[in-house]
């Protein structure tokens, strides 16, 4: 039997759960709140400046941050702006006393690794907080290991502890399909799913859940768990980056670390990306970052073995050889060594 108790005192106090607070008359409190709302309601002939409302929330800062932090992803950014528009209009409707149920904000982010899903989730939490739909606006990112126990009686406390930490913010569950293992009847993931389902329904005013992972696996997960699929309102797909976008990401990352490519190194880095993209386990922006980190290692080793004083320009410049040292260019390096040996 699933435990139906609220997860935390703070959450239960906010949501009410049909219980009165100590020293407070619930009927009187509700009447006072209704009177306060009625006093704030705009007359029918009033007008709401949506542009002003948007500026006051500060969500344009979130959009600017998204554009600065993430190259491409136009469909994703468009969907986020659409969600923001819906919530702004709902706020305006509330000012006229128009009855509007709270939108379902649980989401599914699908796509390959390194396509910005976690970064977008972080910005989403900030946006929902600024719009008044999350109390705290923090992000709690977890995987199966954080939610599912290894023995009887271990899963429920782990899942509830994570949910308690996430209350008032956004819970991001990466590779959510690993919660369900159909081939193992003794797996405890289903217990975690049942707890999540209950909270996603009963406490959705105080928590937004984002389930993330590969699209095909997430589709299978929702088929196997229709209750979870029915609670997801927004399915957002994150496309793989194009070669041009990957190159732009690399430039941003290099500049952020205080380095720059020579013109030849920039061309070589693009060739690296083209080769790496065609290989297994490519992880988009994550692979770009790893490549730059290894280039920095080769750059540092190159300067050290030179055994001479270096200037500022040398300290900040990544050269072609810093890129060509990658195993991605194994065939190129082998050909080069053969030519050298034959001379």
Q: Taking the CB of residue 146, how many other CB atoms lie within 10 A of it?
A: 16
For residue 333, the model assigns a pLDDT of 53
**Per-residue pLDDT for 15 more than 70?**
no
Query: What sign for the dihedral angle of Cα 18, 24, 27, 29?
Result: negative
Q: Pick the residue with more confidence: 318 or 154?
A: 318
Structure tokens of 123?
Answer: 């910005």
Residue count of the chain: 343
pLDDT band at 14 (very low <50, low <70, confident <90, very high): very low
Beta bridge partners of residue 304, listed in sequence order: none
Rg, Å, the chain Cα set: 26
Q: End-to-end CA distance of the chain, in Å? A: 78
Please state the three-class secondary structure of the chain as a single string.
CCCCCCCCHHHHHHHCCCCCCCCCCHHHHHHHHHHHHHHHCCCCCCCCCHHHHHHHHCHHHHHHHHHHHCCCCHHHHHHHHHHHHHHHHHHHHHHCCCCCCCCCCCEEEEECCCCCHHHHHHHHHHHHHHCCCCCCCCEEEECHHHHCCCCCCCHHHHHHHHHHHHCCCEEEEECHHHHCCCCCCCCCHHHHHHHHHHHHHHCCCCCEEEEEECHHHHHHHHHHCHHHHHCCCEEEEECCCCHHHHHHHHHHHHHHCCCEECHHHHHHHHHHHHHHHCCCCCCCHHHHHHHHHHHHHHHHHHHHHHCCCCCHHHHHEECHHHHHCCHHHHHHHHHHHHHHHCC
Beta bridge partners of residue 27, listed in sequence order: none
pLDDT band at 330 (very low <50, low <70, confident <90, very high): confident
The mean pLDDT of 114-118, rounded to a whole number, is 95
Structure tokens of 3?
Answer: 């435990």
**Per-residue pLDDT for 21 more than 70?**
no
Phi and psi of 189, rounded to 5°?
Answer: -65, -35
Q: What integer best gives the mean pLDDT of the chain?
A: 85
Sequence-distant (≥ 6) Cβ neighbours of residue 141 within 8 angstroms = 118, 121, 172, 174
pLDDT tens-digit series, residues 183-215: 776 778 889 999 999 999 999 899 999 999 999
Beta bridge partners of residue 71, listed in sequence order: none
pLDDT band at 40 (very low <50, low <70, confident <90, very high): confident
pLDDT tens-digit series, residues 264-295: 999 999 999 999 999 999 999 999 999 999 99
pTM assigned to the model: 0.80
Q: Which of 228, 268, 230, 233 is nearest to 250 (CA)?
A: 268
Query: What sign for the dihedral angle of Cα 271, 275, 277, 281?
Result: negative
For residue 307, the model assigns a pLDDT of 84
Torsion angle of alpha carbons 103, 105, 111, 117, nearest 10°? 130
The mean pLDDT of 60-68, rounded to a whole number, is 93
Q: Which of 150-159, 219-228, 304-313, 332-341 has the lowest mean pLDDT?
A: 332-341
**Per-residue pLDDT for 314 more than 60?**
yes
Report in angstroms the alpha-carbon separations of 221 from 31, 178, 214: 45, 9, 10
- 296, 335 Cβ separation under 8 angstroms: no
């Amino acid at each position: 039997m699933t435990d139906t108790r609220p997860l935390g005192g703070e959450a239960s106090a906010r949501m009410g759960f049909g219980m009165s607070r100590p020293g407070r008359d619930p009927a009187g409190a509700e009447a006072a709140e209704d009177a306060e709302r009625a006093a704030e309601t705009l007359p029918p002939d009033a007008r709401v400046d949506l542009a002003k409302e948007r500026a006051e929330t500060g969500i344009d800062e979130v959009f600017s941050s998204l554009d600065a932090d993430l190259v491409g992803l136009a469909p994703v950014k468009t969907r986020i702006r659409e969600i923001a528009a819906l919530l702004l209009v709902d706020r305006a409707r509330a000012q006229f006393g128009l009855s509007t149920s709270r939108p379902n904000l649980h989401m599914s982010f699908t796509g390959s690794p390194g396509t910005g899903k976690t970064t977008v989730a972080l910005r989403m939490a900030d946006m929902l907080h600024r719009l008044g739909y999350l109390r705290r606006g923090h992000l709690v990112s977890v995987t199966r290991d954080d939610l599912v126990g290894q023995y009887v009686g271990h899963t429920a406390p782990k899942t509830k502890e994570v949910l308690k930490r996430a209350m008032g913010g956004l819970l991001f569950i990466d590779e959510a399909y690993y919660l369900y293992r159909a081939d193992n009847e003794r797996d405890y993931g289903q217990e975690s799913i049942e707890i999540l389902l209950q909270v996603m329904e009963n406490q959705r005013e105080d928590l937004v859940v984002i389930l993330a992972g590969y699209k095909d696996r997430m589709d299978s997960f929702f088929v196997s768990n229709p209750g979870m699929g029915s609670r997801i309102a927004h399915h957002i797909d994150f496309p793989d980056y194009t070669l041009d976008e990957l190159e732009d990401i690399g430039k941003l990352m290099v500049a952020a670390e205080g380095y720059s490519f020579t013109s030849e190194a920039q061309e070589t880095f693009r060739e690296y990306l083209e080769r790496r993209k065609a290989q297994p386990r490519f992880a988009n922006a994550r692979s770009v970052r790893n490549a730059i980190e290894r280039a920095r290692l080769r750059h540092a080793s190159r300067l050290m073995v030179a055994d001479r004083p270096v200037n500022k320009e040398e300290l900040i410049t990544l050269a072609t050889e810093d890129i060509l040292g990658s195993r991605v260019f194994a065939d190129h390096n082998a050909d080069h060594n053969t030519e050298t040996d034959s001379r």
